[in-house]
Each structure stands twice: as C-alpha cells, then as structure tokens.
Amino acid sequence: MVKANENYLKLPGNYLFSTIGKKVRDFQDKNPEVKVIRLGIGDVTQPIAPAIIKALHSAVDEMGSAETFKGYAPDLGYSFLREKISEVDFKGRGCDISPDEIFVSDGAKCDCSNIQEIFSLDNKVAVCDPVYPVYVDSNVMAGRTGIYDEIAQSYKDVVYMPCTADNGFVPEFPDETPDLIYLCFPNNPTGAVIKKDQLQAWVDYANKNKAIILYDAAYEAYISEGDVPHSIYECEGSKTCAIEFRSFSKTAGFTGLRLGFTVIPKELEAGGVKLWDLWARRHGTKYNGAPYIVQKAGEAVYSEEGRAQIKTQIAYYMENARYIYDGLKSAGYEVSGGVNAPYIWLHTPDNMTSWEFFDHLLTKANVVGTPGSGFGPHGEHYFRLTAFGSRENTLEAIERIKKL
C-alpha cells in the first residue's frame, strides 16, 4: 500500500504567508470597497532596472536565432555569470571564492530548503528564533525535527536560539551543540545585523565543534554600515565551516524572474566527505539550471550601469524603511531594523498577540503586515513590516497606523 510522507503532517497548518493571504482575501471579499495596503510579504514593487531589461531583450533575440540559441544551461550556471559573481561579490571584498565554487539556481529560498538533503537525518539543527520559516519547515519535511509541541510552539529536536531585544536580535551560542546552524543576516524578519567580530566568533565556534553554518545573505545589498560583513567568507576560517546563499530577488527585483546562487567551498567537508561533490551531484540530478535569458539578466546586474540603477532602487526602498521606522517611533511604537535591511520589527502594543495585532491592523487601518509568531515562539508580541511597497502606499499606511 502506498504511504504518504507523514512528516508533512507535523507542520502546523498552512505556510505562514498562505494563511495571511487567505485572511486578506476573506476580508476583501466582505469589504470590496476598501483599499488594503500590503506591507507584509517581502515582494518588490519597483520595475526591473533598464540595463537589465536591455540584457533580457538581447538574450531573447539570441534565442530566436539558430547561431545563438541556448538549450540546457551548464550544471553550475554559465561561466559569464559565475565569473562576475566571484569578481564583484567576493574577490572585490577580499574573499577567496572562485567561480567553480558558485552554483547558480532559481533563488535562495529553494537552495535554503534543499541544502538539508546533503546532510544526514541525525544531524541536530539550530535556528535563530524568530526565523525565516523555510529553514525549519524543510527540515520538518525531511524528518529531522521531531514532533511539534503545540504549547511551546516549537519542534522537539530543533535547537532554538532566542533573538531578543536584550541581545540585539543576534543569537548566542546554544547550550546544546548543533551540527547545522542556520544564520540569516541582515536578518529576516527582525532586520538586525551581525558585526564582523560576532560573525567571526560563530565561525570559530563552528570550526571548533565541527558544525556547518548555513548562511543566508539574501539582503546583503541593503547593508549601509561599514562594520557589517556582506559575506561570511570575510571571516577567517569560514571556508571550512560555511555555505552561503545569495539572491537576486531583493537585490535587483528578480522575484518574478527567479535567480540566486549558493557558494560551497571546495575544502568544506562533513565527516571527511566533500560537500561540493554532494551538492554538485544533487544539483545535476534534480535541477536543469536557471534560463539563459535570466542568467544574462543577472550578468547585467554587475555592469556599471546596472549597479548604479540597482543602487538607486535599494535607496528607494530604504527611504521607505526610514519613513516606516520614524513614523512608528513618533507614534510611540517600540521598533528596530530598517537601517541595514528592508524590514522593520515592532513590538505589538497593549500586550496584543501578533495575530491579534494583525487582525487589528487589517480591520481598523486596512494595512497588512506579518505576525511575528509565524517566525517562531520568540516572535510572539512582535510584528514585521516591509519597505517594498510604493512610496505613496508606504506613507499612507504609516499615517493610517499612527491614527490608531
């Protein structure tokens, strides 16, 4: 008899953003005349930069000619893109990452969730709390987390590292030594960053304990402060303990195009096994590569013109973040983030739960955000707003919230 993967049954309800979407749809069905402003899901709103659109058009034209047509992409991605990534994102920051250590994919979300496949099921996983839900959910699906405790709102076999206002939303070393450590900085959802000496301490910790850090740097382009590392490979010894994920989604507005990459150093091992070899085997077996036209668009991100246009777009979103931060602060909210990341993390008023505040904001101000409890037990009584809306909607949303 066929059996289902019962690990999926351990997941509590729907994916966080599916639940939010249903609540908003139900509200709008009952109130069709209301303008709802969405500052919840971190989807971009600015159009693709002109230099990238030009590259897309050129690549599409190439696909229409027998002489320049491209079929399946190389397993790791086209060399023209990997060489640019290596040169600009890593060697330009003093990181010794070669093009053949870069695996091009269709986004960081997929890689962050799929990377656990190359590790044994008996590895102990540690996550920040609150945390991007994909890290936990993908390990639940694999059967690595144990059962879900409804009261504690956590999984029995996951090591949760509290990120609170007291520690600046940066985790401390856990009492129980993990094997796989998920870190995300600049952080989603709190908007916090980790300073280089703090990250170096985590690298030293991982090497000492023979652990692997899975480092999500999807928002590194939003860093504005000089003492915040853009890559974990800026730290000494990181190539023997870290895998890094990057995304073009928020950096260059590729949420609809889909492009990202994962870095696995050649010397990185787990129990004497080269992880580069395992990921290359998995990548070649289960993935056919990002489309040529999208990788050509990715190459244009690194052009002089493309970098200037993207910098302007990021500045636009971070100006939104400043408006949200300042507006909430002036209204008496306790807020953080919004300086090196496009997320603002606020403490809910009047001891509301995060879902109570979600409903309050939706029904009274017609503004959508993300309940902090959806990111983990220490996200309760917190709420995330994103800076990816239009300027007009962002300003209107904050005025509505201030009136509450």
Percentage of the chain exceeding pLDDT 90: 95
Report pTM. 0.96
348-371 average pLDDT score: 96
- Taking 80 as the threshold, does the pLDDT of residue 14 lie above it? no
Longest dimension (CA), the chain: 66
Say which amino acid occupies 386. Answer: T
What lies within 8 Å, CB to CB, of 320 at 6+ separation is 342, 387, 388, 389, 391, 394
Q: Give the CA distances from residue 25 to residues 34, 111, 209, 270, in Å, rounded to whole numbers and listed in that order.
A: 12, 30, 47, 46
pLDDT for 12: 79
Look at the block and give the residue holding tokens 């023979």. Answer: 210
- Taking 80 as the threshold, does the pLDDT of residue 15 lie above it? no
pLDDT per residue over 279-309, tens digit each? 999 999 999 999 999 999 999 999 999 999 9
pLDDT for 404: 87
Query: CA 257: distance to chain centroid?
Result: 16
Distance (Å, rounded) from C-alpha 137 to C-alpha 133? 6
Query: CA 162: distance to chain centroid?
Result: 18
pLDDT band at 5 (very low <50, low <70, confident <90, very high): very high
Q: In what order do the strands lie in the sheet with 242-247?
A: 102-105, 260-263, 242-247, 212-216, 180-184, 125-129, 158-162
Distance (Å, rounded) from C-alpha 344 to C-alpha 383? 8
pLDDT for 21: 87
Run of H or E residues at 225: none
67-95 average pLDDT score: 97
Task: Kindly report the backbone phi and psi dihedral angles of residue 336, in degrees, each rounded to the nearest multiple of 5, phi listed first.
Answer: -150, 175
- Taking 70 as the threshold, does the pLDDT of residue 13 lie above it? no
Mean pLDDT in the chain? 96
pLDDT per residue over 314-344, tens digit each? 999 999 999 999 999 999 999 999 999 999 9
Query: CA 143: distance to chain centroid?
Result: 23
